Amino acid sequence: MARSAKTFQVTIRNSGQTIACTTDRTILQAAIAAGIDYPYACATGNCATCVSKLEEGKVSLLPHSDAALGKAQLKSGLTLACRARPRSDVTVNWLARAGG
Amino acid sequence: MALPTDVAARRARACKTFLEQAHAATAAEGINPSTLHAIKLKLVAFAKRTELFPLADFAMPEAQARNHPLLVEDNDGYGLYLTISLPGKEAAPHDHGIWCANAAISGRERHVFYRRTDDGKQNGHAIVVKVGEVVVEPGTGIVMADHDIHSTEVVGDRPAIGLSLYGYALARFPSVTWFHPEYSSVRATPSRRHAA
């Protein structure tokens, strides 16, 4: 039997908002659903437009490319909002502004 | 048995010859559907030469996808890459702003093709509809014009390894446009043309 998704609180420092995000959704998906103008482009872990500082908490990452987020960046506390699913309450801060 | 350095040297020569053939295919007529098709056939044939692309010569991704430059021409020249994508790797619908061809060495990757149906007048908004699908596996490939739209997804439990040829090097790409049917949105990454 499939386990139901947990819900965590995601605080987005740039907009000053805290939103709910289930463990089966990405931070970007939850932000878009909440009407937050989170920067993004590919939304699939290829371009790094949504690269963010993970200030607090834990996430799990869906598949992404080395060019978008390498080991060193991951180690330095960066994440991709489009690939990150919360595993605790988290606080993120996006680093860029989207084009397009 | 060929030494690793022999393989690397043979691969380098073969890549040079391949790009010469690709340029020859477009020299008379430029880039059009016919010449792009010819390039795809040459790339598929090149990818079949698996002895030139031993996995030991190409590091696996740190994450789930990595591009290895094979031969990148100067200025506005072509870029030829060996790409490795691990199971689960995907890319939302996008165009590259420049033509490209892909051919599989091993593994399988699904390409879904889309057509944009809105008039493009509303900033950030786009509607795309699926128009086709193909699974690229050894012996096959695809080719796309500048603004053809595709999404990709590795199929199965093996890495998809292939050759990708682009009209410009990745480091000098124009703006890439990404479409998100679930949000009816469109976003673009900045052009890297200034890096030329």
Write down the ipTM of this complex.
0.91
CB–CB contact B189 A99 (8 Å): yes
Strands B100-106 and B141-144: antiparallel
Beta bridge partners of B111: B134, B152
Distance from CA of A11 to the nearest CA of B (A): 22
Residue A98 confidence (pLDDT) above 70: no
B66 near A CB under 8 A:
yes
Tell which phi-psi region holds residue B23, choosing left (phi > 0), alpha (psi between -120 and 50) or beta.
alpha
Q: Is A93 in contact with A69 (CB distance < 8 Å)?
A: no
Chain B residues whose beta carbon lies within 8 Å of the beta carbon of residue A61 = 63
Q: Is B170 in contact with B67 (CB distance < 8 Å)?
A: yes
Residue B14 confidence (pLDDT) above 70: yes
The residue segments making up the domain with residue B95 are 4-195
CB–CB contact B64 A65 (8 Å): yes
pLDDT tens figures, A35-83: 999 999 999 999 999 999 999 999 999 999 999 999 999 999 999 999 9
Chain B residues whose beta carbon lies within 8 Å of the beta carbon of residue A42 = 91-92, 94, 176, 178, 187, 189
Q: Which of A1-15, B26-40, B119-133 has the lowest mean pLDDT?
A: A1-15
Separation between Cα atoms, residue B70 and residue B161, nearest integer Å: 13
CB–CB contact A66 B90 (8 Å): no
User: Which CATH number characterizes residue B92's domain?
Assistant: 2.60.120.10
Three-state DSSP at B88 gives coil
Work out how many domains chain B is built from and give that number.
Answer: 1
* Structural domains of chain A, with CATH: 7-94 (3.10.20.30)
CB nearest to A69's CB, from B63, B67, B183: B63
Residue A24, Cβ neighbours under 10 Å: how many? 12
Q: Report residue B159: phi and psi, to 5°.
A: -60, 145
Selected residues 11-40 of chain B with any CB under 8 Å from a CB in chain A: none
